[in-house]
Structure 1
Amino acid sequence: MADVLVTGGSGYIGGWCALALLGAGHTVRATVRDLAREPQVRATLRRAGEDDARLRVVRADLRDDEGWREAAAGCDYVLHIASPTLTRVPRHDDEMVRPAVDGTLRVLRAARDAGVRRVVMTSAIGAIAYGHAPRDTPFTERDWTNAGARIAPYQKSKTLAERAAWDFVNGEGRGLELATVNPTAVLGPVLGPDYSPSLGALARMLDGSMPALLPFATGYVDVRDVASLHLLAMTSPAAAGERFIATAGHSLWMRDVAAILRDRLGERAAKVPTREMPLFVARGLARVNPQLGSLRAILGRDLDATSAKAERVLGWKARPIEDTIAETAESLLALRR
């Protein structure tokens, strides 16, 4: 069994990765920006049925050098999951890009200097599928987002942070291994109030605050399968130096997701919208609405991707996305009670 550092231990993906690691017998060291979050992290794990005795919570912030050397000391592996977030639309891309790039380099330097064997970095489909002309074939790990195109700051930050990670390992890594996991939109049961933006969209569909469905398609994947892929990428010899897309089957339009919700939840999905917003209306709103503006580049587009590489190289398999959508909705509804 190994000692594993998980950055962003209080986050949605970080929490599920910590659960998977503890369940597999590993010892986990989880970073949080504020140690006041430690009780919440432990309570979340216990609520999910996992013993937190092999968990240690440490303070380290991607925007600060302090704490990273100590966090990585003695660890065999690092799962770098943390990524900067903003509660408002950034005035400039660098507000999100610089912390993502600099924070990634802080983690990698600390890992290298501590003698860590391998870092598994949580990247995103946002580092693969954006800024391209429309296409009929699925995106693969050979594709890279065009960071010079008109894309949202988040996708730009994920792209440039992953690029920086590969450049660092290839130039200054001194034997440190790297693998990346690039999930599509992440769904799955919630462990607490912190969850992914994709779940936020599902929650708005369920509570009726989404008046119409936006016209775009993307892949979806269960957070538990994302966690299992991180563990496979951490220990498999074949994963070193590789990228892995995590997605379940083909992409879904939002109208497809809505139809699954209505089919699986019946009356409890009564507020889920049935109407898709016309493309020209969505594009017009995206010009004036900052929240929709982040989706402007993909409106009317199908960002289909394939996880064939993860299946072939690592033996990974995702559960049916229809089951994930239903279980996600069930957990969101339970959270309201």
Structure 2
Amino acid sequence: MNSSLALRPTFLALAVCLLAGVGCQTGPRPAAEFVQQAEQLHQSALQSTIIRDRDLDEYFAEIGKRIILGATAANVGNTRDPTFANMKFHLVDSDVVNAFGTGGGHIYVYNGLVQACQTEEELAALMAVQYAHALDLDIQRTGMKPDLRPVTDQASIDRVVYLYLTFPFSGTMSLEADKRAFEFYARGGWNPSAFAEAYERLRNVQRLDLPPTTGGDGQPRATLGARASSARSLASSLPAQSRDWRQPTVADPQTFSDLKRQAQNESQKIPDNTRAAFYLAAFPNVILPADLPVQQQAQGQLRRDVVPPAPPTPKIEPS
């Protein structure tokens, strides 16, 4: 990494050994068919949206490492499965304020979300939430049945992406993920009080503080206000020893600002009218309480592409 963008080192390895405890603990294990579906989708489409830059790659990998170590400190069983121990956090070229995990070994952090965050703490909080969704096996819990047919053309990829559209997370899943993510984040060394600021920041942007729409199980999605309030409650109930978990951020504030600018510059080099970028837009929003207009537009188009229109009802001539 360039010396001007040198990042602060992570000091969690020893802490994890001390905090994780001893004994054989079991943890979440994703079903193989979900991991396979996610990998096929990554290889066939989504990897082309990744912003390729050494500084940014190292930065997101370092944040991801701290989140994973924080999850391990919370419970060593959390990361016993290699899919979770080796989760990849990808910065992808999309202006949508969102992040999305597909149920396997990949979490996609949209550049639009990065640009909306003013601090590393805000970004790390929202990345930790996506990791918590993965550990909670929330994609599986939606009732989705993976499509493992060979991915050979656009139509076959469309079918897989459409599954994620039709099986969104519920509001309860979002609040549960926030609660787990908060512990990973706090044990990862970030300022616990800053977790709520991620949602408050988005809430203060008028176009993002949307009325909740219906999510999975027919439940309304969690509002930004409810998520911020829950995070503040979690911060106030931390034990006194949590002060010992604190570490410097991976990047200092100026470096974070530089990395945001670098991400925006690099995103301009990637075509944004590809089918893969369309898929990113079509995924449900798992941070905001409703899908943004650009997402609704992509979802409508995908639905038309995947679900053929019903044939016209034949006219019955009177006898």
TM-score normalised by structure 1 residue count: 0.28
- Normalized per residue, the structure richer in helix is 2
Which of the pair has more CA radius of gyration? 2
Q: Which has the higher contact order (CA 8 A, sep 6+)?
A: 2
TM-score normalised by structure 2 residue count: 0.29
- Normalized per residue, the structure richer in strand is 1
